Amino acid sequence: DDRSIAKALVLTPFSLSAGATQVALGNNELNKEITSRFHTAIQRSPADFLVKAISNEPLFAPEQFQHSSAQHQLRYMAESAQAQFIIAGRLRNLAFGRQAAGLLKKERWVRQFALEVSVLDGASGRLIQTKQYQTRVLWPFAITTEVNPASDQLWRADFGVEVQRLVYEAVDDIAAALSCVRVKAQVIRVVGGNVTISVGSRQGIKPGDTFSLLHSDSFTDSWGNSYAVTAENDSQLEVVRVYPDHAETRPVKANYL
């Protein structure tokens, strides 16, 4: 209660939904630039995040999150990176609209922007939250103009400022969603009665911290649906030695362990 423990994350690139892919030339590069700015905002956030890995490939669509095969893949990603949470997103809309010309004004283009960001629990593969962010802003260029997605001209224009605002809003929402979630670590080694876990000083762990030991299991019901179960028992582990990315613990009551 007297200090913050950082949440370990895996970041994945944003994907482009079918409706946003072929709207205009350059959308793939714009998507990459928005992904980069989002990841930078996460890493610079005042919230306690520790980015353990950044994936090269986008995650599958949110409609697949509840599939058992997807949950296995999410757990594998988290275990491989020794992280607790996975952040994913996709751009759903980058469409253009025409603002009609008037008597004293010429025709202008309006561009829509819709971003969907998901937070997943890597330990269980379950979805924690999905939120939508959208806006509609005047596009500062001719529709035939090839625009460098990283240019200052784009990001200082109303469109870039508004997209950046939504990126920061999404990062704040992630921080709020994870602020009260308990930190979990993986058991990565057992030697005798000592247990090594996958959190360390980079997350704020200190000697004397205690962890509860959890057992995970799963079962399948009569309809073929899979469910993950995590049970907490009476075993308590006390941190005795801390390294940057792992810590050694010993059981508070050896007979329980």
| Residue 152, φ and ψ in degrees, nearest 5 | -60, -35
**Predicted confidence band at 152 (pLDDT cuts at 50, 70, 90)?**
very high
Give the percent of the chain with pLDDT over 90: 53
Question: pLDDT at position 107, please?
Answer: 74
- With beta carbons less than 8 A apart as the criterion, state whether 4 and 180 touch: no
Summarize pLDDT for 206-232 with one digit per residue, the tens. Answer: 999 999 988 877 788 888 877 777 777
Is residue 24 classed exposed, middle or buried when 0-12, 13-18 and 19+ CB atoms within 10 A define those classes?
Answer: middle
Q: What are the strands of the beta sheet with 247-251, ordered from one edge?
A: 187-191, 194-197, 247-251, 226-242, 210-220
Which CA distances in Å does 245 have to 9, 83, 191, 213, 241? 13, 11, 18, 19, 11
Helix (H, G, I), strand (E, B) or coil at 102: coil
Instruction: Mention every residue, 6+ apart, whose C-beta is less than 8 A from residue 69.
Output: none
Give 3-state DSSP helix, strand, coil % of the chain, rounded to 5. Answer: 25, 35, 35
- With beta carbons less than 8 A apart as the criterion, state whether 185 and 248 touch: no
**Predicted confidence band at 101 (pLDDT cuts at 50, 70, 90)?**
low
pTM of the model: 0.86
- With beta carbons less than 8 A apart as the criterion, state whether 120 and 75 touch: no
Question: pLDDT at position 20, please?
Answer: 63
Asked if residue 24 has pLDDT above 70, the reply is: no
CA separation for the pair 65, 86 (Å, rounded): 12
Question: pLDDT at position 154, please?
Answer: 92
One-letter amino acid of 55: S
For range 144-171, the mean pLDDT: 93
Question: pLDDT at position 201, please?
Answer: 94
Summarize pLDDT for 167-192 with one digit per residue, the tens. Answer: 999 999 999 999 888 888 999 999 98
Summarize pLDDT for 119-140 with one digit per residue, the tens. Answer: 999 888 889 999 999 999 988 8
Q: Would you list the DSSP string of 181-194?
A: SPP---EEEEETTE
CA atoms within 13 A on the CB side of 84: 19
CA separation for the pair 44, 223 (Å, rounded): 45
Summarize pLDDT for 38-57 with one digit per residue, the tens. Answer: 999 999 998 889 999 999 99
Q: Mean pLDDT score of the chain, rounded to an integer?
A: 87
Asked if residue 21 has pLDDT above 70, the reply is: no
CA separation for the pair 95, 82 (Å, rounded): 38
Asked if residue 256 has pLDDT above 70, the reply is: no
